[in-house]
Amino acid sequence: MYNAPLFLLIIIAGAGDGAVPPPNARPCASAATNSYPFCNASLPFPARARSLLSLLTLDEKIAQLSNTAAGVPRLGIPPFEWWSESLHGVCDNGPGVNFSSGPVRSATIFPQIILSAAAFNRSLWRAVAEAIAVEARAMHNAGQAGLTFWAPNINVFRDPRWGRGQETPGEDPAVVSAYSVEYVKGFQGEYGDEGRMMLSACCKHYIAYDLEKWEGFARYTFNAEVNEQDMSDTYQPPFRSCIQEGRASCLMCSYNQVNGVPACARKDILQKARDEWGFQGYITSDCDAVAIIHENQTYTISDEDSVAVVLKAGMDINCGSFLIRHTKSAIKKGKIQEEDINHALFNLFSVQLRLGFFDEANKNQWFTQLGPNNVCTQEHRELAAEAVRQGTVLLKNDNNFLPLKRSEVGHIAVIGPAANDPYILGGDYTGVPCDSTTTFVKETEDHDRVSLLLPGRQMDLILIIASVTKKPLILVLMGGGPVDVSFAKHDPHIASILWIGYPGEVGGHVLPEILFGKYNPGGKLPITWYPESFTSVPMNDMNMRANASRGYPGRTYRFYTGDVVYGFGYGLSYSKYSYNILLAPKKISLSHSSVPDLISRKPAYTRRDGLDYVQVEDIASCEALQFPVHISVSNDGVMDGSHAVLLFARSKPNFPGSPVKQLVGFESVHTAAGTTTNVEITIDPCKIMSSANPEGRRVLFLGTHVLMVGDEEYELLIEV
């Protein structure tokens, strides 16, 4: 008989709380109030927003400045709850969602974002966001959820210890950007003119927020010291894409300070979104982020000064009651004018108008017809399962131990902290799962890890089992962050290692499909798995780039110079794939482009060390420089499979601080066994082959650049 493998479930991490249900009542519904111009659907939104503003008293205005906005009964306006959550499924972390106030008792829990990210499949990300939106809107229609949701979380997963890194699509700014666009477009479902949308999504947490509590540092008071270079090519890009391409209607400013100024008071950073990226929407603070500005950060000398500094910076509502309590006195003391509030309300009302809040539900819009039957559907559960399948990463598979053959397996022993429970963790921001027999452990925000090793005595347990069984083990890792599993990587008793993130409620069904080869895993790590020694790096050090003179190894695959346990983009399959770059330009000539005046100002700059480069802002038409790369993907194995093709680039000219390599494109492909499939990836050199200089300007090096996919390398020359 074949050796019966042991199958370990190792649990690593999981958060939530709740409060008041929003009625789905609408203003303008009754004849007594619908004659106001703000109710008049034939007027443009700005006119309607101004009309409403003009009718409100100062007290009524102030009562709008909280996530729980008061109603205005004399105008027929019901209360409005701005805070609902939908990270990887509708959940009740915010007061906007209530699973017991109506017919919808649960919602589909999709896998935690870090796992879906590992699929590197934009269509999957879009489909999941659309499905969450259907359930969210159905719950809204049933009076159990709001219209404005505070997802996605698009902070770059900068440090492997970050407790909320699991909520993000990983460490690469280009991947996080791409994810944000799919989520927001899928979720908001924009339609018609005037920016109408079915729901509102929120890009959070703006900006440089990625530490909960580490040593003496806490997210509420942490001052993130970020240099211009890292701001420009790591921290900022996801927010820019989320707004510019995704057209998100909300931004959340974070608790932390950025270079000594609270994020919600950084007028320059908040206005950049509106002025440079075309942001149309509202800016909310993270919860109680304004209260802490005086009380805990002592950045201002009074609460009224805190009110002034955030409203003048461009924040529109505060999550919490702080503005309700202190705005009147800020006006009395002359710290702000009523005009400062009007700005905020105009933005808030504009979003409500775009959401159709002031209009009678339009029966012609499909989403107004959604109801309880559209939640927890078989289709959504299947999509959740599909996300788990596509995201699961095979990290080790000695001698093709997996997939198991059913006929040859005698017993499977399941051991580990989760072994007695049929459930799988959902990770944080998890709602009530559709399958009520499933129980979830919820772990919390506000925590970072202190170690990259497995928690408790799990490693000892595994090693003991490995040494006594003499039978091959399969290690199944669950959790949202990287773990140092070097011991298992090198232990010959452990034949295979699979990472399944936090797979959500369907994880238990999908795992056997993968173990027995019904599905061929093709996920790739969206984060670097560092060795435990990385914990000597101070978590509060926001520098991305390595600095040898102080022994700083740098962060993420773009800059990290040390050893890895498993690298970004790593992931095996039951098949073997090989790549060929079939077609790409040999030369990109900036001055011989079809666009006249391509380089509008100085043609190029030369650094003191002789390297030539151009500043991206000086290139008149970046679009004209885009080029396609054709790649053939051969499946040299015996199983069909899907996996992500990751195309990287590096520039041969490099200097301290330039990235080791960068992801310039990715595409998920399905390839049948023994066949070849072609895939085309379009590269935007300005955006993706450039990097920031120390002043934060994006520069493109002249000279040889190398495109890399798998073992295949391809050189191309960028010249003026």
Ligand X SMILES: *[C@@H]1O[C@H](CO)[C@@H](O)[C@H](O)[C@H]1NC(C)=O
Applying CB under 6 A, which residues contact ligand X? Answer: 18-21, 35, 40, 42-43, 98, 100-101, 121, 123-124, 127, 220, 292, 295-296, 386, 547, 549-550, 642, 668-670
Packing angle between helix 122-141 and helix 378-391, nearest 10 degrees?
A: 150
Q: What's the closest the beta carbon of residue 516 comes to ligand X, in angstroms?
A: 19
Query: CA triplet 560, 238, 80: central angle to 5 degrees?
Result: 140
Q: What's the closest the beta carbon of residue 615 comes to ligand X, in angstroms?
A: 20
Q: What's the closest the beta carbon of residue 687 comes to ligand X, in angstroms?
A: 23
Q: Amino acid identity, residue 142?
A: A
Q: How many helices (H) and strands (E) does the chain have?
A: 17, 27
Which residue in the block uniquely carries the two structure tokens 């200097």?
Answer: 655
> In terms of CB distance, is 626 or 676 closer to ligand X?
676
> In terms of CB distance, is 103 or 422 closer to ligand X?
103
Strands 698-701 and 691-692: antiparallel
> In terms of CB distance, is 16 or 165 closer to ligand X?
16
Dist CA 32 CA 90 (whole Å): 35
DSSP 638: S
Dist CA 304 CA 327 (whole Å): 7
Q: What's the closest the beta carbon of residue 269 comes to ligand X, in angstroms?
A: 22
Query: CA triplet 536, 538, 539: central angle to 5 degrees?
Result: 115
Cα 193 from chain centre: 27
> In terms of CB distance, is 123 or 561 closer to ligand X?
123
> In terms of CB distance, is 452 or 669 closer to ligand X?
669
| Residue 645, strand partner residues | 667
> In terms of CB distance, is 84 or 642 closer to ligand X?
642
Q: What's the closest the beta carbon of residue 558 comes to ligand X, in angstroms?
A: 15
> In terms of CB distance, is 129 or 475 closer to ligand X?
129
Dist CA 249 CA 688 (whole Å): 25
Q: φ, ψ for residue 646 (rounded to 5)?
A: -105, 120
Dist CA 183 CA 196 (whole Å): 17
Return the CA Rg of the chain. Answer: 26
| The dihedral sign for the CA sequence 488, 489, 495, 500 | positive
Q: What's the closest the beta carbon of residue 600 comes to ligand X, in angstroms?
A: 30
Dist CA 276 CA 176 (whole Å): 20
Q: What's the closest the beta carbon of residue 124 comes to ligand X, in angstroms?
A: 4
Q: What's the closest the beta carbon of residue 123 comes to ligand X, in angstroms?
A: 4
> In terms of CB distance, is 20 or 672 closer to ligand X?
20
> In terms of CB distance, is 412 or 548 closer to ligand X?
548
Dist CA 447 CA 330 (whole Å): 35
Rounded to the nearest 5 percent, the helix, strand and coil shares of the chain are 30, 20, 50
> In terms of CB distance, is 19 or 582 closer to ligand X?
19
Packing angle between helix 303-313 and helix 322-332, nearest 10 degrees?
A: 100
662-671 β-sheet, strand order: 587-589, 712-719, 703-709, 641-651, 662-671
Strands 68-69 and 80-81: antiparallel
Q: Which of 286, 428, 448, 618 is catalytic?
A: 286
> In terms of CB distance, is 372 or 603 closer to ligand X?
372
CB 470 within 8 A of CB 5: no
Structure tokens at 183: 């989520």
286 labelled catalytic: yes
261-262 β-sheet, strand order: 223-224, 257-258, 261-262
| The dihedral sign for the CA sequence 381, 384, 390, 391 | negative
Q: What's the closest the beta carbon of residue 122 comes to ligand X, in angstroms?
A: 8
| The dihedral sign for the CA sequence 185, 186, 187, 188 | positive
Residue 671 C-beta-side C-alpha neighbours within 13 Å? 30
Q: What's the closest the beta carbon of residue 23 comes to ligand X, in angstroms?
A: 11
Strands 627-635 and 641-651: unpaired
Quote the longest CA-to-CA distance of the chain: 84
Q: CB-based contacts of 425: which residues, under 8 Å, 6+ apart?
A: 11, 13, 14, 418, 440, 441, 443, 478, 479, 502, 503
Distances (CA, A) of 361 to 78, 90, 195: 15, 22, 17
Q: Amino acid identity, residue 319?
A: C
Q: What's the closest the beta carbon of residue 467 comes to ligand X, in angstroms?
A: 39
The residues annotated as belonging to the active site are: 286
